[in-house]
Chain A
């Protein structure tokens, strides 16, 4: 996805090596994807078919895409 879109940057994060990031994003199982855009943040749990995964990832561009935890801290 990052390779075809100049606006997307993708990080593969080794969760056990970076427990601070895993804690920050409440990672309790893998794979877990956290997608952050200007308007919000969404989570994708597990592996999904391509269409569904991209639908969910792009929903982070929606102004209503604030993660519950993010909302709670605002």
Chain B
């Protein structure tokens, strides 16, 4: 049984239809000591049936530590969004449930080609940043 109501599935399908680029969700997980990895995988599994532009690639944090390092992921569950081979540098740490699910959908649509909503001036300011900057946005599911 799907975790997403049929009406919401329709809305998501419609939104995903506007995607122009494929989006790969790298799902970082591990077999032991991860209480929420299964729930995260179940949530992510809801998405590919709604769009042929979304797919999930599971990465084992322990067995594929090189890949985890490449994406600067050191804990699970975590998700990195990739467009083709281009890393979006957008990550989700923790289960994308509640409001976090909405944020994940917005991020998928952005990486999939939807305009960011940034003004042209702000887009230029950000594109000109030439030193590494890490942004951690703390949220809760409710």
Residues of A within 8 A of B (CB): 1-18, 21-22, 25, 27, 30-39, 50-51, 54, 57-58, 60-61
Contact = CB atoms under 8 A, between A and B. Distances in A.
B75 A30 contact: no
Interface of B: 36, 72, 75, 88-96, 100, 103-104, 107, 110-111, 116-119, 122-123, 125-127, 129-141
Given A14-B140, A15-B140, A27-B138, A4 B100 contact: no
- Main SS at interface, chain B: mixed
Contacts of A3: 88-90, 110-111, 116
Contacts of B125: 54, 58
Nearest to B92: A12
B100 A25 contact: no
Contacts of B134: 8-11, 35-37
A58 B129 contact: yes
Nearest to A8: B133
B128 to A, nearest CB: 8
